[in-house]
Structure 1
C-alpha cells in the first residue's frame, strides 16, 4: 500500500516576512467577512465577521489586529486592505482612505481560480484568495491581479448623466414597442407613438376588421402614452444637464470642445467618450484599448496560435459607443485616412468581414481620438464642423 506524502499541519500557512497587516473584505448584504494575515501570528489567517454596513465594527477589528500584532512583535504595522469591485461601489474604499488606511479595489475577474468543473466556493475561500492576491501584488509579481483606479466622487457623478439617459431611452423603447404590440394584435400597424400628433392619430385608428378601438384598450394605450411623455420630458431634462456639464468641462479641459468640433460627433457621443474613457490617464494605447475592451485576445499553445477577437473585458458603454461612432465615421468622414483604411481592408476581403473590420476601426478611432485630445494630433483627413 503506498504511503501518503507528509502534509504540513497548517495548510494555510504562508512563509513570508510580513511588513504589514494584510486584510481582505468579502462583502455581502448581510455581513462583511474580514480575513487578515498579521505578523507574529504563525502566518495563519484569521477571520472575523461584522454586520454589513458596520463601519465602526470594521475599524474596531482593525484596531484590535494592530494591538495584537504590536503585543506579539513590539512593532506597529500599517494595515493594507483589499476588496472586490461590486455592488457596494467605492464608498468603503473612500472611508478607509479617510482613516489613513491603504486600500485597494481589485477586479474579481482578474484573480486566478481553480478550473475544476465543480470548484469549491465559499466566503472563507474567497477571503483567503484575496489576501494571497494582495500579498503577491505588494511583492510586485506581474499580472497577479488587476487593481482598479478608483474614480473620484466628481468623476463618478459626472458619468451618471449619460448612463441615466441610456436607461431612459431603453425604457422609452420598451413603451413604444408595447404600444405597437397592443395595436398590432388588433390589426393596426404604422402608428408612431413618438410623433407629436400621437393622441389625435390614436383617436382615428380602426381595427383590422373596421371597428373603433375597444374602450379598455384605448385607456391602456392612453396610460402608456402618459408614461412615454413623462420619459420624454425626463430625457430632455437629462440632455440639458449633459450639455451644461460639457460647457462647464470646457473651462477645465479643451477636450470636450475638441471632440464636438469633429464632424459626426454630437453632444451624446462627446459626453460618453469624455466621461467614460478619454478623461482618464493611460500610459500607452494598449492600456486604452484594453480599458475599452477592444484589445486583441491571443491564444497560443505550442504550434497553435490564433486571435480570439476583442476581449470585451473593459468598459461596455465606451465600447458600444465607439462601434456606433465607427459606422457614423464612415458616413461623415468618408475621406479620412481611417475610413479609407476600412474601405481598402473590406475590398481586400472581397466585401466580407465588415463587422470584424468595424471593430478594428473602432479601436483605431479610439487611439486617434486619444492622441487628438491629449496631444492635439489631428486625425488625417478629418473634417471639422467649423470648416
Structure 2
C-alpha cells in the first residue's frame, strides 16, 4: 500500500493550460495540410485533422468547427491564432487568414529547437506539435523561442522580383557562354567571344586547332546556343528597362534609392538590390541589420572555449552576396573613406593575409553604415559623392 501511494505521488501531474485562444499549427505539403489544434477546456490534448492541399474552404470550416467545440466546452468564443513555417507556399495562405480576421504567424523553420540525436524521428504529426508548442511559448513571451518572419506587403514582394529575375537571367547567360567556349576549346579554339556583335560571322570563319573547318553538328549546336544566348540578352534588356522605370517611380515615393545612387561605387543595379532586398525594411538596431543579411558573427562559447565561427549565413543570401561584391568595389571607388582605411589597416596587421575574411567584416560595417545613412542621414565618414 505505501508503494502504491508513493507511485501516485511521484506520477507526473496533469499539465494545466489556461488558454485564451484556439492555437493552431499548419504543416503544409503538396498533397495535404495537417491542422494541429489545442482548444481551451480540452486539457493538454492536441487534435489533428488533415485537409487536401489548397483546400482553403476546408481549412476555414475546420477552424469554425474548432470554435463550436470550444464554445460548447466553455460557453465562450475564442480567437484563432495560427502558425505555419515559411517555405514553398510563400505568403498567400497568411494573407488569406488575415483577410478572415485570423491572427497568423510565419516562423523561420530553422529557428525552432529540435532534437540533436543523430537519428531523430520526423513526421508531420511531430512537426505539427512542435510548431504548436513554439507558438504557445512565443505568445507567453518567452525570449528566443523562435524567429517569426516579417511578411512583406504584396507591393514589396513584387518589387524584389526584378533584381531576382535579372540575377537568374545573368546566371543563365554565363552558363551558355561557358558551354560555347568549352565546346570550342575542345577543338583548339580559344579566341571566340560569343558576346561580340559579329559572333555569327566569326563562327563561320572559325577553324579547329589542326586547321579543319568546324564539324557540321558542332556548328549547329553552337548556333542553337547562340539563339538561346541572344534571347537571354533581349530579356536582360527588357528587365533593365523595367528596373529603370521602377527606380524612377520609387524615387518619387522615397529618397533612399537616390541617396544610395549618389555614393561613388554604387550603380543602379546595386542600389536596386540594396533597397528592395534590405534597406526598405524596418530594423530596430544594427544587430538586426547584420543578422538579416546573414553577416552577424556566430560565437561558440562553452567553459574555456571561446571563439567565433564566422558569419551565420542565415539571412538574405542575395543581399549578402551583393554586399560582399560591393565591399570589394568600395575599396576601389572609396579609397579615402574610413571603412577602406580600416580594411587596409586590418589587412596590414595580419601581414597581408585574411583578405577574404576581412572583406566580410567590411561588408557588415558597410551595411550598417548604409542603413544609418539612409535612415538617419549619417554621412559615411570620408565617403565621396558622385559629381552632377
Structure 2 CA distance for aligned equivalents of residues 349 and 220 of structure 1: 50
TM-score by length of 2: 0.96
Structure 1 CA distance for aligned equivalents of residues 289 and 111 of structure 2: 17
Residue 25 of structure 2 corresponds to residue 28 of structure 1: no
Structure 1 CA distance for aligned equivalents of residues 364 and 307 of structure 2: 19
Give the aligned partner of residue 96 of structure 2: 95
Is residue 338–residue 365 contact of structure 1 (8 Å, CA) maintained in 2? yes
Is residue 19–residue 39 contact of structure 1 (8 Å, CA) maintained in 2? yes
Misfit runs of 4+, over 4 Å: 5-10
Structure 2 CA distance for aligned equivalents of residues 378 and 372 of structure 1: 5
Alpha-carbon shift at residue 8 of structure 1 (Å) = 6.4
Give the aligned partner of residue 214 of structure 1: 215
Extract unaligned runs of 5+ from structure 2: none
Give the aligned partner of residue 104 of structure 1: 105
Give the aligned partner of residue 332 of structure 2: 331
Structure 2 CA distance for aligned equivalents of residues 309 and 52 of structure 1: 40
Give the aligned partner of residue 297 of structure 2: 296
Is residue 17–residue 43 contact of structure 2 (8 Å, CA) maintained in 1? no
Structure 2 CA distance for aligned equivalents of residues 64 and 8 of structure 1: 34
Extract unaligned runs of 5+ from structure 1: none
Residue 198 of structure 2 corresponds to residue 194 of structure 1: no
Spell out, residue by residue over 1:169-201, the C-alpha distance to the aligned partner (whole angstroms, 9 max, x if none): 000011111111111111111211111111111
Structure 2 CA distance for aligned equivalents of residues 308 and 360 of structure 1: 13
Structure 2 CA distance for aligned equivalents of residues 9 and 61 of structure 1: 32
Structure 2 CA distance for aligned equivalents of residues 15 and 360 of structure 1: 48
Is residue 16–residue 43 contact of structure 2 (8 Å, CA) maintained in 1? no
Spell out, residue by residue over 1:6-25, the C-alpha distance to the aligned partner (whole angstroms, 9 max, x if none): 89699xx7532111000000
Residue 378 of structure 2 corresponds to residue 369 of structure 1: no
Indicate the RMSD between aligned Cα atoms, in angstroms: 1.6
Give the aligned partner of residue 308 of structure 2: 307
Residue 379 of structure 2 corresponds to residue 344 of structure 1: no
Structure 1 CA distance for aligned equivalents of residues 318 and 265 of structure 2: 18
Structure 2 CA distance for aligned equivalents of residues 46 and 9 of structure 1: 21
Give the aligned partner of residue 15 of structure 1: 16
Give the aligned partner of residue 76 of structure 2: 75
Aligned length: 383
Structure 2 CA distance for aligned equivalents of residues 98 and 9 of structure 1: 42
Secondary structure of 1:48's counterpart equals strand
Give the aligned partner of residue 48 of structure 1: 49
Structure 2 CA distance for aligned equivalents of residues 280 and 103 of structure 1: 20
Secondary structure of 1:68's counterpart equals helix
Alpha-carbon shift at residue 66 of structure 1 (Å) = 0.1
Is residue 41–residue 70 contact of structure 2 (8 Å, CA) maintained in 1? yes
Residue 242 of structure 2 corresponds to residue 252 of structure 1: no
TM-score by length of 1: 0.97
